[in-house]
Chain A
Amino acid sequence: MSETVVVAGTYLISYGLIVAYAVYLHIRRRRAER
């Protein structure tokens, strides 16, 4: 695998985790507001 693909994938997974957490917080908030 090329260096660029590995680095890009690492960034993508890391930012993906943060986005997933932000979405989880959003869903939890919506559920609590109901």
Chain B
Amino acid sequence: MTRVRALMALAAVAVGIGLWFALTAPPDALQGEYSRLLGIHPPSMWVAFIAFGVTALGSIMWLIKKTERWDRLASASVEVGVIFTAIGLFTGMVWGQAVWGTPWDWQDPRLMSTAVMFFVYLGYIALRNAIDDPKIRARRSAILGAVAVVQVPLVYFSVNLFRTLHQTQSLRPDGSTMPDEMLLAMLVNMGAFMILYAALMVARIEVARIETAATPARALAGEAVRPPRLDEIEDV
């Protein structure tokens, strides 16, 4: 518990610092105050991508090692990733309304691929809740977790591969497309969100570990049935 609390406190301080950077960065000449969403929209989507990458890692490792901790890592990371994707979608819609004049475009590859990714990982959570047997649950979700990660590069590169309302990446191999103050605010918030991700992951894994330890091994149907003790029956 102490470790979780310490990490949560660290995350709160980091997010506070990030917020200060986001609110004190100069506003964009065209977008005005909306450019401050730079401190929350890209960081939350980046963390979501990392979270789903960690899920894929945990899933593949479970398929190799078959140990419970990899299953816990993968499933915890999906839950946290879904939260950050929801934030990314929501903040993106607010930003879209401000700069594109619409919060959503059903034909936009970046928006739609992100939404599909969100629902696939929601499906992962639903799949886990639908299966009682821990082994079967771990195997099926590991297969889904390992396969579903193909969406991450698809979402990330959708702005380069297709025509979309969304701008292309601001951070490129040849430098950044924004002023240093804005870039700094975004990077500080990315660091803060990474700490937040780590804190939520540790808390979620702890919950899963305690719940597993607290759950008594449930008897499956048929286990109580014993074969007839024929040798004890006297011939009539």
Task: Write the residues of chain A forming the contact surface with B, with a CB cutoff of 8 angstroms.
Answer: 3-4, 6-7, 10-11, 13-15, 17-18, 21-22, 25-26, 28-29, 32-33
Contacts and interface: CB of A to CB of B under 8 A. Distances in A.
A26 B32 CA distance: 38
Nearest to B79: A21
Contacts of B83: 17-18, 21
Pairs A-B, 8 closest by C-beta atoms: A3-B33, A32-B210, A32-B211, A14-B87, A25-B203, A10-B94, A29-B207, A7-B33
A22 to B, nearest CB: 7
Contact of B33 (A4, A15, A33): A4
B19 interface: yes
B207 A14 contact: no
A22 B86 contact: no
Nearest to A19: B12
B148 interface: no
Nearest to A5: B33
A14 B34 CA distance: 15
Contact of B207 (A6, A17, A18, A28): A28
Contact of B214 (A6, A25, A32): A32
